[in-house]
Amino acid sequence: MEETELCFPQLFNTSCSRPKRTYFETIITYILVFSISLLTSSLNLLVIISISHFRKLHSPTNLLLLSLAVSDIFIGLLMSFQIVLLNGCWILGNSFCVIYTYLGYIFATASIGTMVMISIDRYVAICYPLHYNTKITQKKVKICVPLCWTWSVVFQGFNLMENFKQPGIFNSCLGECVIVINYIAGMVDVILSFIVPITIIVVLYLRIFVVAVSQIRAIHSYTAGLTFHGSVNVKKSEIKVAGSLGVVVVAFLICLLPLFCVTLIDQDALLNASSTAFVIFLFDFNSCLNPIIYTFFYSWFRKSIKLIITLRILQSDSCDMDIL
């Protein structure tokens, strides 16, 4: 019989078995995960530098994109640890297993919360354009974003409290990274972190889509010189921003739904790092997609990339450049 490869050969009786993979599969997987992690971190760093540096970009919507980029860059950095998970053996210790999972939960929850705020921002901009400047202000956004992150830290800390008290208590052998959330906390987490946010995002963007279509028709009728009894309140730029952010939201939901389904199917909220690596990786990959979408839809992001790469942002007056 072929000998089973163990995570810790010196601890034969307590060590987990390592999944059998060919050398080629292992190398390709490592290169792929590391490349996506590096690309995710680099692209989101460009977003953070752009919005933080140029004053013209300090709008409520862009501040929300900044919060999303912060969560995405940390998710990108955590993706490098997927190499350890894909290897099939967790070698970084039980305590760091809990910390790693906790950080992942925080950034994922903050990302979902930011998506909800982006949907609300676009909903007000499209459906109530005359009230947007009073309802959505930088001051309010600067309050809501820290509250979102604070909620993520506290809520996920509460969910993982038992795991923090006894790290590795749910591991069946050495080399596992298993986190278990009790049934009640798991159901609350599913409702507050998945069902409610997804429902809000979908409902708001369906409403945005209906209003945006009617406004686009109104604009076309107005520019064509046809009689139009309504009023064109929404700017073309606002509709364009809503459309581009709609692509971001759709990509987010596509990457989130598999993880959402796995969470719902698993009634005990058991997260085994090896068995759910794919759905976690798909959710993490969304953090790489966002800056790529910005590149296609936002001219200011393309301009800022050129200024950053050419080091023109080091000039004394660069922060006041008209980048829009």
- pLDDT computed for residue 314 by the predictor: 85
State CA 132 to chain mean position distance.
Answer: 25
Cβ atoms within 10 Å, residue 84:
17
- pLDDT computed for residue 4 by the predictor: 64
Residue 150 lies in a domain: yes
Of 33-37, 131-135, 229-233, where does mean pLDDT reach its minimum? 229-233
Residue 7 lies in a domain: no
Residue 167 CA to residue 165 CA, distance in Å, equals: 6
Q: Which residues contact 128 (CB under 8 A, 6 or more apart)?
A: 135
Decide if 71 contacts 111 (C-beta within 8 A).
yes
- pLDDT computed for residue 317 by the predictor: 82
Residue 18 lies in a domain: no
Choose between 297 and 73: higher pLDDT: 73
* Among candidate residues 77, 83, 129, 85, the one with its CA nearest the CA of residue 103: 77
CATH number at residue 301: 1.20.1070.10
User: What mean pLDDT, rounded, does the chain reach?
Assistant: 80
State CA 88 to chain mean position distance.
Answer: 25
> What is the residue type of 290?
N
Q: Which residues contact 159 (CB under 8 A, 6 or more apart)?
A: 105, 181, 185, 186, 189
Residue 8 lies in a domain: no
Identify any residues that bridge with 17 across adjacent strands, giving them in sequence order: 6
Choose between 277 and 121: higher pLDDT: 121
Residue 1 lies in a domain: no
Q: Could you tell me the maximum CA-CA distance found in the chain, to the nearest angstrom?
A: 83
Residue 268 lies in a domain: yes
- pLDDT computed for residue 220 by the predictor: 62
Pairing of strands 178-180, 270-272: antiparallel
Confidence band, pLDDT 50/70/90 cuts, at residue 277: low
- pLDDT computed for residue 290 by the predictor: 84
Question: 177-201 pLDDT, tens per residue?
Answer: 888 888 888 888 888 888 899 899 8
Question: 128-138 pLDDT, tens per residue?
Answer: 888 888 998 99
Choose between 217 and 31: higher pLDDT: 31
> What is the residue type of 73?
I
Question: 39-68 pLDDT, tens per residue?
Answer: 999 999 999 999 998 888 888 999 999 999
Cβ atoms within 10 Å, residue 217:
13
Residue 262, domain extent? 23-317
Decide if 83 contacts 284 (C-beta within 8 A).
no
Residue 12 lies in a domain: no
Q: Which two tokens stand for residue 121?
A: 């921002």
Residue 155 lies in a domain: yes
Number of separate domains in the chain: 1
